[in-house]
Structure 1
Amino acid sequence: MSRVNKLLHHWLLQSASEKATAWIEQKQAQIASGAAERVFFTAFSAVPRYLGKENLQLTSQDLEAAQEALPGWFPGHWSVDQAGRTLLLLALPHEDAQEYVRSLDKVFTTADMGELVVLYQSLPLLPHPELHRQRAAEGIRSNMSNVFQSIALRNPYPADYLDDAAWNQMVLKAVFVDSPLHLIWGLDRRANPELAKMLTNYAHERWAAKRSVTPELWRPVGRFADTAMIADLEKVLADGDIAEQEAAALACAQSPLPEAQALLSRYPDLHSSVQKGHLTWSSFSRDRLFVHN
């Protein structure tokens, strides 16, 4: 069993009945040995009936083990049936990559919303992850918020496998639908100049309509801010609320341009908080957004 398999199996033993776990083990064995497709589809559909939909009872040690198995994997919000369905997906024969992708395509095509969430959040765990980029891009385009968030948030797949164009669209959509950006794995690592332009253009549209923007919008901007973007940050520092000012200060601190540092120095309290490490993007997400990873 792979490390991911072992962890999921261990967590099910902790959270589900012996009878339910035995059922999953039996189905895994049948699927892995090449059982007819209907065996997989029938089992995949029936998982909630046998395992229930309670949340997995994971400890901090369990979450650390998940990170060690795959950096960015955060199953803290997973349910028992989601873990069970992921085990069945992992049992599908995958020696022939193209045949495996064809099998997976059939599952996606017939999946309901709950099943799609499982499919997308399990993408980084599945064999041949480099072949699932098109599927991930489809998830990003989904109008179902649960499905979009299953690929965009707490999921390392986009940062590890999407190209910049798909990645940038995902981040912009997350801003548009008010998803918390700090739950996007690899946000800082994948920040890029084109994304900074897209986000500041979006901010201008919102301002023109007399609407606000999430302060997190500035997080991917700072390192790539040009003179016009620094003028935007100056506006936020002058007119924004506390959260907006803190976000703009952090963005200025990340900019290599002297005018950004000069702008930040005009706000000594914020400047000092950043310099002393009291104000970071992590502390900002925790204290200002009231959303915990």
Structure 2
Amino acid sequence: MNYQADLIPTQQLFQRLIDKYATENGTDWVKQKAEAYKQSPANRTFFLMFSAAPRFVGKEPIPFTTEELAEAQALRKGFDLTGWTMDQLVRVYFVLHLPHKDQSAYVQLLNQVFEMADMHELVALYTALPILPHPEALAKRAAEGIRTNMTVVLDAICLNNPYPAEYLDEIAWNQLVLKSVFTERPLYKILGADSRANAHLAHMLSDYAHERWAASRLVTPELWRFTGQFLNESLLQDMKTLVAKEDPHERYAAILACMESSSGLAKDLLKHHQDLVKEVQEKQLDWDRLGAAYEVDKGPLPTGYQQAGSGVSVSDPEA
């Protein structure tokens, strides 16, 4: 059986965190429900306790310590509890109790949970993907989640989550990147992004950029992170366009992409823009630092984004 994390230590960590951060009544409720489900794992029991969690433990963000965050990372590389809420922690703890020896039955039940989940429950489920058993069997569910129009759910799948880069096929992975670009998510928070760069994605992103430019719209400079390894004559033209832009983020993106390329044309471009190369080196820029700087500087969300409750829903700005 394929495990991404050892379930017993993971359950133990979650229980300790619940004991520490939940109220005494909330902790007692969680223990009672988890034990009852363990003794008699009926689907109805699980659905009820999974849904009821916020009423008993609340929805407050949890101020995890650096040591606690490191413990989670030690259980599963890339598993990040930053920003988690109390109900999210408890719901994932409950999910870790689902019977999983029978892969088919496990995936079927988990799919039912996904299909019945509200927005906050989906966030918990998608952030749990890196620690759930049978990860290969969950790839289709993760790919379906990319189609969501709820930004908080999309972020749970795409950002600070090691699962997509490790288990999505190329088609689903490319869709994840394109959706993240289209909805202007911070691409530097997509874990494993560089390892999954591919030629098809590079040209899809270039086509998207050309459509945006033709409509006099902005293009996130992070988009070019996925092109450097595949620079050809066509993509080099994009780099020449970028170095002529007013926005320094775009100019730096062209330099970073060319620095990753073995193309003689890319090297020639770098020779002609030594001033930009020097700036990139002096600022010690890489794609992560460029992305973080751009996230700070780009300002408010563009037209087409609307606040919806506690999350953000995304409408197609091109429609």
Q: Equivalents in 2 of 1:265, 1:62: separation in Å?
A: 47
Tell me what 1:45 maps to: 51
Q: 1:226 aligns with which of 232, 241, 247?
A: 232
Q: Equivalents in 2 of 1:96, 1:34: separation in Å?
A: 17
Tell me what 1:74 maps to: 80
Q: Equivalents in 2 of 1:49, 1:287: separation in Å?
A: 39
Q: 2:165 aligns with which of 159, 164, 170?
A: 159
Q: 1:147 aligns with which of 146, 153, 163?
A: 153
Tell me what 1:261 maps to: 267
Q: Equivalents in 2 of 1:63, 1:231: separation in Å?
A: 43
Cα deviation, 1:212-238, whole Å, max 9, x if unaligned, reads 100100111111111110110111101
SS for the counterpart of 1:2 is helix
The answer to which of 49-58 and 35-44 deviates more is 35-44
Shift of residue 65, structure 1, vs aligned partner: 2.0
Aligned partners of 1:14 and 1:57 also within 8 Å: no
Q: 2:14 aligns with which of 4, 8, 30?
A: 8
Tell me what 1:185 maps to: 191
Shift of residue 133, structure 1, vs aligned partner: 1.1
Aligned amino acid, residue 288 of structure 1: Y
Instruction: Give structure 1 stretches of 5+ with no counterpart.
Output: none
- The alignment status of 1:173 with 2:179, answered yes or no, reads yes
Q: TM-score, normalised by structure 1?
A: 0.94
Tell me what 2:136 maps to: 130
Cα deviation, 1:79-104, whole Å, max 9, x if unaligned, reads 01000000101111111111111211
Q: Equivalents in 2 of 1:113, 1:275: separation in Å?
A: 43
Aligned partners of 1:72 and 1:155 also within 8 Å: yes
Cα deviation, 1:54-99, whole Å, max 9, x if unaligned, reads 1111122222222221122111011010000001011111111111
Q: Equivalents in 2 of 1:102, 1:246: separation in Å?
A: 47
Shift of residue 14, structure 1, vs aligned partner: 2.4
Shift of residue 276, structure 1, vs aligned partner: 5.8
Cα deviation, 1:232-286, whole Å, max 9, x if unaligned, reads 0111101241111111111111111121122122222321244567121222223
Aligned partners of 1:31 and 1:93 also within 8 Å: no
Provide the aligned C-alpha RMSD in A: 1.6
Q: 2:38 aligns with which of 28, 32, 36?
A: 32
The answer to which of 49-58 and 147-156 deviates more is 147-156
Q: Equivalents in 2 of 1:81, 1:264: separation in Å?
A: 51
The structure richer in helix per residue is 1
Q: TM-score, normalised by structure 2?
A: 0.87
Give matches, 1:98-137, under 5 Å: 98-137=104-143
- The alignment status of 1:59 with 2:65, answered yes or no, reads yes
How many residues are matched? Answer: 291
Shift of residue 288, structure 1, vs aligned partner: 3.3
The answer to which of 71-80 and 16-25 deviates more is 16-25
Identical pairs, percent: 45
The answer to which of 258-267 and 179-188 deviates more is 258-267
SS for the counterpart of 1:77 is coil
* Higher RCO (CA-CA < 8 Å; seq separation 6+): 2
Aligned amino acid, residue 215 of structure 2: A
SS for the counterpart of 1:228 is helix
Aligned partners of 1:11 and 1:57 also within 8 Å: no
Q: Equivalents in 2 of 1:226, 1:276: separation in Å?
A: 27
